[in-house]
């Protein structure tokens, strides 16, 4: 019994010795590996942290640049307005761009003095002079005195883009001296996002499906953008109550339009020429089957740069081409697919607007 206890104790001692020998000698190698792994882990974490900091800094710097170029936050105080500032900045794009050109066509230029045009519509009035004479005889060309007397004109061009939804820009838009709107974009029901003031509305016959007495102010100038001779036929028939023209349009324009002739103006095709030539690099002479042309929105910005000293824009830009379900307007559910056969190159127009943003000729109230 005593022998057994001794042998057991001896075995336990042997086991302890063996265990101790393993504990004393074997941990050195794993410990060394653990230390190396620990050091490598900290180096890796430090490297990842450094990369993350660099990425965040780069992202912020890019975002700041993006905001600086393509987004102009609403400020509590008005931005300083310098007379002639827009003209000076846009000269980088337009070259010998002059504000001597009249904004609206006037009768004397086609009645008393023949003003030959080098191009047909939409870039000139060649071949449409007789029609135009009849239209100019029943419309006007003056700019409201309230705009003329301003020492420095602050203008905003309100596009029709979906980015205006829930923008709450209405109050800010109403504070500008001149508010320019496009086509049939509604105001009623959207005042919180787009405002209620309309100084000018650019339109063409197919886009005249709006009620001027509901969507516009009593003194709003309704500016006809003529793309073709039939546009002059249409406005003459509306204002003189002649037989309506039904053919020659890609979409039937309204046959009855309750509008005051004193509000109607005819836009000088010079602005279409400038937008096409200087901003989009389009040839003035194009095959009839192609006929690329600027959108009314780009045309309105070109006009604003001619009329105003400070130009801001809102609601410009289209959804990504891949996003085929997102609507392009703030007021209706039509998608980018509708632009496929419009004759407008929206990608080129986006680049043109970005160039204007980069040189500071215009500033953005919504992201672009």
Q: What pLDDT tens digit does each residue of the chain (368 aa) get?
A: 434 334 444 444 444 434 444 444 444 555 655 666 666 777 777 777 777 766 656 554 444 444 444 555 554 557 789 898 988 888 888 886 666 789 999 998 887 666 678 899 999 999 999 999 999 999 999 999 999 999 999 999 999 999 999 999 999 999 999 999 999 999 999 999 999 999 999 999 999 999 999 999 999 999 999 999 999 999 999 999 999 988 899 899 999 999 999 999 999 999 999 999 999 998 877 766 557 899 999 999 999 999 999 999 999 987 776 666 788 899 988 876 766 666 778 889 999 999 999 999 999 999 87
The answer to whether residues 366 and 104 touch, using CB atoms and an 8 Å cutoff, is no
Report how far residue 193's alpha carbon sits from residue 160's, in angstroms, rounded to the nearest whole number: 11
Q: What three-state secondary structure class fits 265?
A: strand
The fold of 81-364 is sialyltransferase cstii, chain A (3.90.1480)
Q: Return the pLDDT at 39.
A: 64
Q: What three-state secondary structure class fits 7?
A: helix
HSE of 29, CA atoms in CB hemisphere, 13 A: 3
Report how far residue 130's alpha carbon sits from residue 229's, in angstroms, rounded to the nearest whole number: 10
- Which residues, including other chains, have CB under 8 Å from residue 248's CB and lie 6 or more apart? 228, 230, 233
Q: Return the pLDDT at 62.
A: 43
Q: Return the pLDDT at 115.
A: 65
Q: Return the pLDDT at 224.
A: 98
DSSP state of 362: S
Query: Helix 346-358 vs helix 28-70: angle between axes, to the nearest 10 degrees?
Result: 90
Report how far residue 105's alpha carbon sits from residue 132's, in angstroms, rounded to the nearest whole number: 9
Q: Return the pLDDT at 25.
A: 43
Domain ranges of the chain: 27-70, 81-364
pTM score: 0.79
């Amino acid at each position: 019994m005593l022998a057994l206890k001794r042998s057991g104790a001896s075995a336990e001692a042997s086991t302890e010795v063996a265990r101790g020998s393993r504990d004393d000698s074997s941990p050195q190698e794993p410990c060394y590996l653990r230390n190396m792994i620990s050091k490598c882990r900290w180096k890796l974490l430090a490297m990842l942290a450094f990369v993350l900091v660099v990425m965040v800094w780069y992202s912020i710097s890019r975002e700041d640049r993006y905001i600086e170029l393509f987004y102009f936050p609403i400020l509590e105080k008005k931005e300083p307005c310098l007379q002639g500032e827009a003209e000076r900045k846009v000269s980088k794009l337009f070259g010998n761009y002059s504000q001597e050109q009249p904004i609206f066509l006037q009768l004397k230029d086609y009645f008393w003095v023949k003003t030959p045009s080098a191009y047909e519509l939409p870039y000139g009035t060649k071949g449409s002079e007789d029609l135009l004479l009849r239209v100019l005889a029943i419309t006007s060309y003056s700019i409201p005195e309230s705009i003329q007397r301003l020492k420095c004109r602050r203008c905003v061009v309100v596009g029709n883009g979906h980015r205006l939804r829930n923008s709450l820009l209405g109050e800010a838009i109403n504070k500008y001296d001149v508010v320019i709107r496009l086509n049939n974009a509604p105001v009623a029901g959207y005042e919180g996002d787009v405002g209620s003031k309309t100084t000018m509305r650019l339109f063409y016959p197919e886009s005249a499906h709006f009620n001027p007495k509901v969507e516009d102010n009593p003194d709003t100038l309704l500016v006809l953008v003529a793309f073709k001779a039939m546009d002059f036929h249409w406005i003459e028939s509306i204002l003189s109550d002649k037989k309506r023209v039904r053919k020659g349009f890609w979409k039937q324009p309204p046959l009855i339009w309750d509008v005051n002739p004193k509000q109607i103006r005819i836009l000088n095709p010079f602005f279409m020429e400038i937008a096409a030539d200087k901003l989009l690099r389009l040839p003035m002479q194009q095959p009839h089957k192609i006929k690329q042309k600027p959108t009314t929105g780009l045309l309105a910005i070109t006009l604003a740069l001619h009329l105003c000293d400070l130009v801001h824009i809102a609601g410009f830009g289209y959804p990504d081409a891949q996003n085929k379900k997102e609507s392009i307007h703030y007021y209706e559910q039509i998608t980018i697919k509708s632009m496929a056969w419009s004759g407008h190159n929206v990608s080129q127009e986006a680049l043109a607007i970005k160039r204007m943003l980069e040189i500071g000729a215009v500033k953005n109230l919504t992201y672009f």
